[in-house]
Amino acid sequence: MAIGPRDTQGADMEKVSSDCRNGAGETSSENTAFSRQTLQRVAADARISRLLAENSIVTRSQYDVARSRCIQRGGNIVDNLISLGYLAPAELVEFLVMRSTELAADVSQLGLSPELIKLIPAELARKYQFVPIERTPDSILLGAVAPLESDALSLVEQIAGVTPKVLLCCKEDIMAALNAHYPGENAPENGAPSPDEIDSSRLMADTKMSHVVHMIHQISSLPALPETVIRVQETMESPRSSVKDIVDILILDPPVAAKVLSVANSAAYGFAHRVNTLEMAVTLLGLRETYGIVLSAAIANLADKLQHFNYEAFWLESMYCAAAARIVAKAASLRQLTGVFSAALLHDIGRIVLLELQPNYAQLLPEPLWGKALVEEEKRVIGLSHPEAGYELAIYWNLPDEIAEVVRFHHEPEHADASSKHVAIVALANVMACATGESLEENAGLFKGYESTLEKLRLDSEIAEAMLDEFLVLRSKTLGAPDEQ
């Protein structure tokens, strides 16, 4: 299936190069001459994507959609084909290996940068199980199995001269990339492929790592925070801010103001008397919690654009988690710990991000999974988990540290650092929010695997059972649909 006449391939490729550069947000002032290496990568992507269409691996219309997305959001066509669900990494690798003689040179341009691989000593990469996958003027992105220790981060910073940033990836992918790029001492001396051959294991590892980088870049193409959220954020961070300042902002945005009043009057927050004014709501909620509610209301605008996302159900689940978080915080004598309610309300924003980045998410993960099993399956199938995607969005939106940490580690609280108590509370709350039925008997063993998290908050099994019982009663009797709150 030919896309266009052969004699126009060069011109078409050059247009794709220009369009994708513009889509990625590069300007002449930032980069007056596109690097030779980048031009070679764009050219290789254009040739490979054309051949995929010519050989009916993808259709002409799929190619056109991916090319259009490339122009609008940046990245390359192949990665956009994968993100849109038109092409699986395994299909791409199979095709490239089949055409190895013809495409070996192009494939070499799409893998992880050889210069970047050489920059990091093999011993360091293998010891801490990470691979460098991208370097920018300000940072170096490391794909890793788990968060890196401070000494490892310091070594990488000394070597690279820029700040290291860690992205948690599938262990199988990281180990495959390590074996491909940093083979151990026992690797066969003649194991490397010749220049006109393609190493399929290395190609699969590089393809998945490249796609993860592509998805991270796509987060910056998501909508920026609305003006109301930004103004509340700026006002909240000012030492001279007051409740009146926040109220004055909210009055100008009636839908958001209504959401704040709705939450203040919900059973999840549990105020004894009805809250009738914004000023009373903000006073009772506090500035930090009000900000979180304003932010969660803004996320509805993003979610509304997703065809396969039920925002009402998402909001209700978030309210369940927030209500449970208040119960856990009370049991742990941490009721005055600010930001817990907001963090619980926003803990799952990564689900929205993944659906935006990977429109065929539901088809890729058809079976219902929960907790760590879901996170691992997302990493394996997509390359990026919803906690990591949500964390990247939290960084992009400059959210408070306690929210960002909760978003990233609510399924893996053992990895939390600076805001470990916030994470522990929301992790337990999230477990409770997913309880089935209305009795303790139906939820026996609910906290299995979270013993260390309970211990961190100095909670024993009896207190955990009491927390769950209180939540189940609250959920059954008073927590209704969002419209009822």
Q: What is the pLDDT averaged over residues 266-289?
A: 86
Q: What is the pLDDT averaged over residues 372-378?
A: 92
Query: Nearest-5° angle of CA 251, CA 248, CA 243?
Result: 120
Give the pLDDT score at 299. Answer: 80
- Entry pTM: 0.84
Report whether pLDDT(378) > 90. Answer: yes
Which domains are present in the chain?
6-104 (no CATH), 114-183+197-219 (3.30.300.160), 227-484 (1.10.3210.10)
Reported as a single tens digit per residue, the pLDDT across 399-413 is 999 999 999 999 999
Report whether pLDDT(481) > 50. Answer: no
Comparison of pLDDT for 255 and 245, the residue scoring more: 245
Query: pLDDT band for position 225 (50/70/90)?
Result: confident
Reported as a single tens digit per residue, the pLDDT across 33-79 is 346 777 888 899 999 999 999 999 999 999 999 999 988 888 889 99
Comparison of pLDDT for 108 and 440, the residue scoring more: 440
CA distance 268 to 403: 18
Reported as a single tens digit per residue, the pLDDT across 412-464 is 999 998 899 999 999 999 999 989 888 899 998 899 999 999 999 999 999 99
Give the pLDDT score at 31. Answer: 44
Give the pLDDT score at 105. Answer: 84
Give the pLDDT score at 23. Answer: 44
Percent of the chain exceeding pLDDT 90 equals 53
Report whether pLDDT(188) > 50. Answer: no
